[in-house]
């Protein structure tokens, strides 16, 4: 993330107590140009580079303004389906984004199959396995 911010974000400044320079997270428009993919590969993003650039391009040039932000007001199924339209976004990534989105109307929790009982006790108490669980009701 730091490399992404340093190379494509806007410089915010530094604190007087250190020499570290802080950058914001780059906008989709900053990552949308086709040349970004090759540069991200050079920065070590590997196969993710094409998905970062393609998704940024979709959000910046094909979706309406504030589309991503508007997903906060959508129901969980609609928000998830909308995210699945993006390049490289599958069900697990969509669930992660929706679960991290600070929206009171969205109800999702991203769990890894390797999660331990202390992190998701409701799954382990139900007697179900994590394999194949995508929703709770």
Sequence ranges of the domains in the chain: 1-62
CA dihedral 76, 79, 85, 87 (to 10 degrees): -100
Q: Residue 35 burial by CB count (10 A; 0-12/13-18/19+): exposed, middle or buried?
A: exposed
Check if 107 is active-site.
no
Taking 60 as the threshold, does the pLDDT of residue 74 lie above it? yes
Class at the top of the CATH hierarchy for domain 1-62: mainly alpha
Q: Which helix (H) or strand (E) holds 122?
A: helix 121-126
Average pLDDT over residues 3-8: 95
Taking the model in full, what pTM does it have?
0.72
Q: Which of 3, 11, 42, 92 is catalytic?
A: 92
Backbone angles phi, psi at 14, to 5 degrees: -140, 165
State whether the Cα torsion 59-63-54-34 is positive or negative. negative
Taking 90 as the threshold, does the pLDDT of residue 34 lie above it? yes
Taking 50 as the threshold, does the pLDDT of residue 122 lie above it? no
What pLDDT score was predicted for residue 103? 55
């Amino acid at each position: 993330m730091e490399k992404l911010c340093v190379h494509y974000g806007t410089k915010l400044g530094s604190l007087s107590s250190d020499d570290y320079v802080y950058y914001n997270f780059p906008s989709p428009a900053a990552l949308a140009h086709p040349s970004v993919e090759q540069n991200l590969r050079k920065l070590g993003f590997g196969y993710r580079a094409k998905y970062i650039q393609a998704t940024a391009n979709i959000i910046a040039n094909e979706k309406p303004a504030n589309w991503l932000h508007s997903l906060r007001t959508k129901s969980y199924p609609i928000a998830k389906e909308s995210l699945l339209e993006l390049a490289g976004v599958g069900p697990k990534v969509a669930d992660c984004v929706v679960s991290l989105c600070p929206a009171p109307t969205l109800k999702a929790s991203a769990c890894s199959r390797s999660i331990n009982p202390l992190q998701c006790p409701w799954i382990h108490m139900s007697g179900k396995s994590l394999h194949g669980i995508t929703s709770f009701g």
